[in-house]
């Protein structure tokens, strides 16, 4: 029997999102001697995809839910603790705020040797009520005591975590959330080789019509109502422009109502959840991201890989990717006029679109998704080697096999 090192990944809900997609990819692509388990809440759009990963039987905990619910949260904590005691993982790797807090506490109760937490952004923000924000911050600091090591996806998240007393700098490693770059590059090449994309034809758009889009969950963090306001101002000056929102969520009804009030009726297309994002992305002339905060917005490297220029808010991980006016445009959150002006400028100037998109490609090597998984494996190896001094529970044969394997 081949010795293995058991790594249990925990995430709150497998909805369509960057953290969820990279977690699934990691679980599916860890190499021996690592063997992955996956634990998450139930009811996500990616649940079936998780079930199809060879060799990984995901565990769904109905009590692991996003909203704060003391009864459900206690059940989730107890369920995670019991599961870890049964699975006996060598490493628990948590993602997202709720799973991060409960998963790390459960790992400590179950005496898991190594606990890793990926910060894909924080669950608290300055727009929350002060009492709620203080509670979430206190919980993050408490969970940090049970954390062996942090993975951060952006420098901004690292600096904020250090400043708030959540992350010790020496216990954090920067590993970018990866993107399947080849899919987006191929989609971009396919659109460039034709006079119109099939996606545009589906929406009834003419081949030369300017199209501005955002790919995001319709929730407050992404500020989709700002997208609608920007669209209205662009449309007032460029009457042939159309707009696409690919995603769904709690603000859908408000988005549609505001679009109708602003006269965007047939020009704003709200698509709901899509599984053909490379195809949608490549059909855009400009990607607009109106987020109020982020961890690392994966739609930015996706757009860059597809050859699409970007206008985004200057928040968190976006600052790691874009240099304003050099390889894209950055505006302050809520700066509707500023975003509208830059979108109009790009739509009117094809050469500027080409230049910005071309310069932005220099960042893409940082976002290779297979390099992301290999970097996590190297981190696991380092943590196991250090932990072996105090944790005899780690299989010596597995560790020997790991350290003998050449690392890329």
262 with 368: CB under 8 angstroms? no
The class of domain 181-366 in CATH terms is alpha beta
381 with 403: CB under 8 angstroms? yes
Domain locations along the chain: 5-178+368-404, 181-366
**β pairing state of 211-215 and 172-174:** unpaired
pLDDT of 201 reads 83
**What distance in Å separates the CA atoms of residue 279 and residue 286, rounded to the nearest whole number?**
14
pLDDT of 394 reads 56
CATH architecture, range 5-178+368-404: 3-Layer(aba) Sandwich (3.40)
DSSP 137-156: HHHHHHHHTT-SEEEESSHH
**What distance in Å separates the CA atoms of residue 153 and residue 105, rounded to the nearest whole number?**
22
Which contiguous run of DSSP H or E holds residue 393?
Answer: none
**What distance in Å separates the CA atoms of residue 255 and residue 257, rounded to the nearest whole number?**
5
pLDDT of 396 reads 54
**What distance in Å separates the CA atoms of residue 405 and residue 31, rounded to the nearest whole number?**
11
- How far lies 13's CA from each of 48, 96, 101, in Å? 12, 9, 14
DSSP 62-101: TT--SS--HHHHHHHHHHHHHHHHHH--SEEEEESHHHHH
**What distance in Å separates the CA atoms of residue 265 and residue 241, rounded to the nearest whole number?**
13
The yes-or-no answer to whether 5-178+368-404 and 181-366 have a common fold is: yes
First-to-final CA distance of the chain: 26
The Cβ of residue 116 has, within 10 Å, a number of other Cβ atoms equal to 23
- Token pair, residue 114, equals 């190594």
Residue bearing tokens 């979108």: 343
Task: Give the pLDDT confidence of 319-352 residue by residue, as tens digits.
Answer: 999 999 999 999 999 999 999 999 999 999 999 9
| Per-residue confidence in pLDDT tens, the chain, 408 aa | 456 899 999 999 998 888 899 999 999 999 999 999 999 999 999 999 999 999 898 999 999 998 889 999 999 999 999 999 999 999 999 998 899 999 999 999 999 999 999 998 888 777 888 898 899 999 999 999 999 999 999 898 899 999 999 999 999 999 999 999 999 999 998 877 665 567 888 888 877 889 999 999 999 999 999 999 999 999 999 999 999 999 999 999 999 999 999 999 889 999 999 989 999 999 999 999 999 988 889 999 999 999 999 999 999 889 999 999 999 999 999 999 999 999 999 999 999 999 999 999 999 999 999 999 999 999 999 999 887 644 445 555 445 444 444 433
Residue bearing tokens 């932005």: 360
153 with 177: CB under 8 angstroms? yes
pLDDT of 35 reads 94
pLDDT of 390 reads 45
């Amino acid at each position: 029997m081949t010795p293995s090192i058991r790594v249990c990944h925990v995430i709150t809900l497998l909805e369509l999102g960057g953290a969820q997609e990279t977690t699934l990819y990691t679980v599916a692509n860890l190499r021996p001697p690592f063997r992955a388990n996956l634990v998450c809440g139930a009811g996500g759009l990616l649940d079936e995809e998780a079930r199809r990963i060879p060799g990984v039987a995901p565990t769904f905990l109905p009590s692991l839910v996003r909203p704060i619910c003391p009864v459900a949260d206690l059940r989730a904590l107890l369920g995670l603790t019991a599961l870890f005691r049964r699975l006996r993982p060598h490493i628990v790797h948590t993602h997202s705020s709720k799973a991060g807090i409960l998963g790390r506490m459960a790992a400590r109760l179950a005496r898991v040797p190594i606990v890793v937490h990926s910060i894909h952004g924080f669950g608290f923000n300055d727009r929350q009520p002060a009492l709620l924000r203080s509670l979430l911050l206190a919980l993050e600091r408490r969970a940090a005591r049970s954390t062996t090591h942090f993975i951060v996806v952006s420098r901004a998240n690292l600096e904020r975590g250090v400043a708030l007393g959540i992350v010790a700098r020496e216990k954090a490693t920067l590993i970018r959330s990866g993107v399947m770059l080849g899919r987006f590059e191929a989609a971009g090449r396919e659109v460039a080789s034709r006079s119109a994309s099939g996606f545009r034809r589906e929406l009834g758009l003419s081949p030369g019509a300017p199209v501005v889009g955002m790919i995001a969950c319709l929730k407050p963090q992404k500020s989709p109502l700002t997208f609608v306001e920007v669209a209205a101002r662009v449309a007032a000056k460029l009457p042939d422009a159309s707009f696409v929102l690919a995603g769904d969520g709690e603000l859908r009804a408000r988005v549609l109502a505001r679009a109708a009030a602003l006269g965007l009726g047939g020009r704003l297309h709200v698509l709901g959840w899509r599984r053909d994002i490379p195809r949608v992305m490549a059909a855009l002339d400009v990607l607009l991201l109106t987020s109020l905060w982020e961890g690392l917005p994966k739609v930015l490297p996706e757009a860059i890989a597809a050859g699409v220029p970007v206008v985004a808010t200057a928040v968190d991980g976006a600052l790691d990717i874009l240099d304003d006016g050099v390889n894209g445009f950055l505006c302050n959150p809520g700066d509707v006029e500023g975003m509208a002006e830059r979108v109009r400028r790009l739509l009117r100037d094809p050469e500027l679109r080409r230049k910005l998109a071309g310069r932005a490609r220099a960042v893409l090597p940082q976002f290779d998704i297979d390099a992301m998984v290999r970097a996590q494996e190297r981190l696991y190896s380092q943590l196991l080697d250090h932990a072996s001094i105090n944790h005899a529970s780690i299989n010596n044969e597995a560790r020997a096999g790991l350290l003998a394997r050449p690392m890329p």
